[in-house]
Amino acid sequence: MARKRINVVWLDDNIDKLDNESTKRLFESHDCVLFKKAKTSDELSSILKEFKSFIDAVIVDFNVGKSTLVPDINSANGFISVQEHLLDYPSIPFYLFSARDIDFIRNKYLELEYEMETDYFFRRNTNVSSGRNRYFQAHELEDLLVMINEEVDKQGTPEYRVRQEYLEAFNVIERFQLDGYVFLDILMNSDIDRYDLSGMPNKLRKVIENLISKLKNVFVIPESYSLNGLPDLLACKKRKGQIPKVCMAYKSQDYMSQSLYAAFNLFLLYTQDGSHDKDISDSSNAMNEPALKFHSYLRESSDVYLVRSLAIIGLDVIRWLGKFYDKYAEIKPFEFIPFEGKVVELSKNMGGAIVISPIGERYFIKQPNDNKERYHVGSNVRIKNRSITSPNFGDYFVQFYETDNLDK
């Protein structure tokens, strides 16, 4: 498990060659991750604007173009643009890493009328114990990473501190490309406008929904489960006194703990109630409790502490789901494979029947119009496909199937 994670952006027109296995291992040994890559200073500018809160350090080459991939060897327009970023992002440390020797760079500085002695990259870096400057030659990558590690650890932004405190969750957020900004906004800002605050529960819920959708796409979680029904599945809660067969697709030691189960339900209760312009008026929610009128409450009270507690629960759920994914991503327990089963239940009202899959999912099939082709409990059925249906019909609706004709 990583002790910390330092997100590094690297600007170099040859970055694809530099980003090799050896570099990745070296980065990892110093708790660094190559977060984003840029080949021009314009690309770097776009990355800084979009991901500012997730960037901890920037490495730049001297000989880069502003907008073109192949820089003019005699031009420093890309580096001039980089110098402007130093003023725009003073809390993010920049480092010059170049194969160009110091004499070449010194001559360019003279042409640009830059004072090397007082320049950001060449003056002493007082934030690190060595006190050396921020210019590194091509053979000094490890020395550069040592400086990044020390400087970011000492001078890291408030966003960096929050991401380190909840490192496992933010690793999952970045891995699945989820919205991490909503968590940073809530955990770092105590003075959120009450109207903005009232919209935060919806944003938190959407992050969880997005992650669940991604887990469904890789068959770690069954498609048929709604978000509100997931805690019962993941904690393998009994239904009508019996453990649902569907949750037997997971190992018992991997079930969600009772403590997190209760917290997850609480999160769903508050974020469901707080995700509407008008508060939920009926009693149907994640825990079958009366409506909380949470949305109205937040607009009246600006209770950032309560929203912050929901954000922390959300991060814990994300952390847990990330570990859960690692255990079942290759297994794909809910990937559909055509199977043969038997009719276990007839539904006259619905005009069909239920077939149980090998992992306990309920498949609804309609009775044929021709009475001679109708089936009974015990009929053998081969299920060929599925689509999600309403709870009244089962977990899935089956359009194409084959069945024995037991009436012939």
Residue 86: which domain range?
A: 6-162
Q: Give the whole-angstrom CA distance, residue 372 versus residue 351.
A: 15
Q: Domain containing 399 — which CATH number?
A: 2.40.50
Inter-residue contact 343 to 376 (CB < 8 Å): yes
User: Which of residues 290 and 306 earns the better pLDDT score?
Assistant: 306
User: How high is the pLDDT of residue 286?
Assistant: 47
For the beta carbon of residue 361, count every other beta carbon within 10 angstroms: 23
Q: Round the average pLDDT of the chain to a whole number and report it.
A: 87
**Average pLDDT, stretch 210-236?**
93
Strand partners, 38: 11
- Cα four-point dihedral sign 61, 123, 91, 93: positive
φ/ψ bin of 244: left (φ > 0), alpha (ψ from -120 to 50), beta (otherwise): beta
User: How high is the pLDDT of residue 39?
Assistant: 93
Q: Give the whole-angstrom CA distance, residue 384 versus residue 206.
A: 33
Q: Are residues 171 and 135 in the same domain?
A: no
Residue ending a domain, among 162, 186, 217, is 162
For the beta carbon of residue 272, count every other beta carbon within 10 angstroms: 22
- Considering the domain boundaries, does residue 334 fall inside one? no
Which range (44-48, 106-110, 225-229, 373-377) has the least confidence? 373-377
Q: What residue ranges in 302-394 does DSSP mark as E strands? A: 339-347, 352-356, 362-366, 380-383, 387-388
Burial 46-83, CB ≥16 within 10 A → b, else e: ebbeebebbbbbbbbbbbbbbeeeebeeeebbbbebbb
Q: Are residues 352 and 390 in the same domain?
A: yes
Q: Are residues 177 and 148 in the same domain?
A: no
Chain centroid, CA 401 distance in Å: 37
Q: Are residues 152 and 283 in the same domain?
A: no
Inter-residue contact 359 to 248 (CB < 8 Å): yes
Residue ending a domain, among 116, 135, 162, is 162
C-alpha triplet 376, 378, 381: angle, nearest 5°:
90
Q: Are residues 135 and 230 in the same domain?
A: no
Residue (of 196, 95, 187, 113) closest to 149 by Cα position: 95
User: Which of residues 191 and 251 earns the better pLDDT score?
Assistant: 251
C-alpha triplet 344, 348, 350: angle, nearest 5°:
95
Q: Are residues 254 and 239 in the same domain?
A: yes
User: How high is the pLDDT of residue 275?
Assistant: 58
- Considering the domain boundaries, does residue 32 fall inside one? yes
Q: Residues in the chain, how many?
A: 408
For the beta carbon of residue 37, count every other beta carbon within 10 angstroms: 17
Q: Is the pLDDT of residue 393 over 80?
A: no
Backbone Cα Rg of the chain: 28
What single letter denotes the amino acid at residue 232? Answer: D
Strand partners, 354: 345, 364
Q: Are residues 90 and 220 in the same domain?
A: no
Q: Are residues 174 and 261 in the same domain?
A: yes
Strand partners, 402: 382
For the beta carbon of residue 340, count every other beta carbon within 10 angstroms: 12
Those residues whose C-beta lies under 8 Å from the C-beta of residue 169, and which sit 6 or more positions away, are 183, 315, 316, 318, 319, 322
Q: Domain containing 95 — which CATH number?
A: 3.40.50.2300
User: How high is the pLDDT of residue 154?
Assistant: 93
For the beta carbon of residue 266, count every other beta carbon within 10 angstroms: 17
Q: Highest-confidence range of 80-89, 322-331, 361-370, by mean pLDDT?
A: 322-331
- Number of structural domains in the chain: 3
Q: Are residues 32 and 156 in the same domain?
A: yes
pLDDT band at 389 (very low <50, low <70, confident <90, very high): low
- Considering the domain boundaries, does residue 378 fall inside one? yes
Residue ending a domain, among 146, 162, 178, is 162
Q: Are residues 279 and 378 in the same domain?
A: no
User: How high is the pLDDT of residue 295?
Assistant: 85
Q: Model confidence over 118-159: pLDDT tens digits?
A: 999 999 999 999 999 999 999 999 999 999 999 999 998 999
